[in-house]
Chains A and B, each alone.
Chain A
Amino acid sequence: DAKTTQPPSMDCAEGRAANLPCNHSTISGNEYVYWYRQIHSQGPQYIIHGLKNNETNEMASLIITEDRKSSTLILPHATLRDTAVYYCIVRATAGGGGNKLTFGTGTQLKVEL
């Protein structure tokens, strides 16, 4: 699986957009970009995933660059409840590993008043 690089921490004001970057310069053509988050003391929670097109759901938007070497997760209106560690994971959808995920250290997002 391709390695990902994320900033260790970010701050965001409540109500503003939170833009979380992720670099995955060694991504392969069949690898998806997944985002999960982990709120303190809870299990990780799926947010969104994409291959090459931008994606949006009720939680967030995912912007993937044309060369697919980086992506940005956007929380359009961050709230205090969005304070969490956000993990960017690259994973192929098929193969012997099923959908096994490898979590890195993620980005600690702190949303403040």
Chain B
Amino acid sequence: DAGVIQSPRHEVTEMGQEVTLRCKPISGHDYLFWYRQTMMRGLELLIYFNNNVPIDDSGMPEDRFSAKMPNASFSTLKIQPSEPRDSAVYFCASSSGLRQFFGPGTRLTVL
């Protein structure tokens, strides 16, 4: 298996633009997580899904952030409009049990 796949790996955009991050979980996994990592706040959970249904979005910072999982093999995290403080590395992880498998992350820079 190729592991968790994220795209793009790097994204540079200007303030006010819409940003969409993509994630393909490991086949057969029924949990999908989105995390954000910054120097100031460390690694924090934004939202997670179980069987494509959002279970807990309490970590989503504000309404500018939204996440979807239309099917078991694809999820998106969208920021609209983006702001410089959204600059971070965004990780997607998937799980079918006790272990979580993380993707390589998307490094987002908002100018």
Q: A-side interface residues toward B, CB under 8 Å?
A: 32, 34, 36, 38, 41-46, 49, 93, 96-105
Q: B-side interface residues toward A, CB under 8 Å?
A: 4, 31, 33, 42-45, 48, 50, 55-56, 91, 93, 95, 97-105
Q: With contacts A44-B43, A104-B42, A105-B42 known, is A99 near B95, CB below 8 A?
A: yes
Q: What is the CA–CA distance of A46 and B91 in the complex, to the nearest angstrom?
A: 14
Please report whether the interface of chain B is mostly helix, strand, loop or mixed according to DSSP.
Answer: strand
Q: Which residues of chain B come closer than 8 Å to A103, judged between CB atoms?
A: 42-44
A98 x B102 contact (CB < 8 A): no
Please report whether the interface of chain A is mostly helix, strand, loop or mixed according to DSSP.
Answer: loop
Q: With contacts A98-B55, A99-B100 known, is A43 near B105, CB below 8 A?
A: yes
Closest A residue, CB atoms, query B93: A43
Q: With contacts A97-B56, A101-B45, A102-B45 known, is A43 near B31, CB below 8 A?
A: no
* CB pairs A–B below 8 angstroms (10 shown): A32-B98, A41-B105, A42-B104, A43-B4, A43-B104, A46-B99, A98-B95, A99-B97, A99-B98, A105-B42
Q: Which residues of chain A come closer than 8 Å to B33, judged between CB atoms?
A: 100
Q: When the two chains form the complex, which single residue of A34, A38, A98 contacts B50, counting CB atoms closer than 8 Å?
A: A98
B45 x A100 contact (CB < 8 A): yes
Q: With contacts A99-B97, A100-B33 known, is A43 near B45, CB below 8 A?
A: no
Q: Which 4 A-B pairs have the closest CB atoms?
A: A43-B102, A103-B43, A46-B99, A44-B102
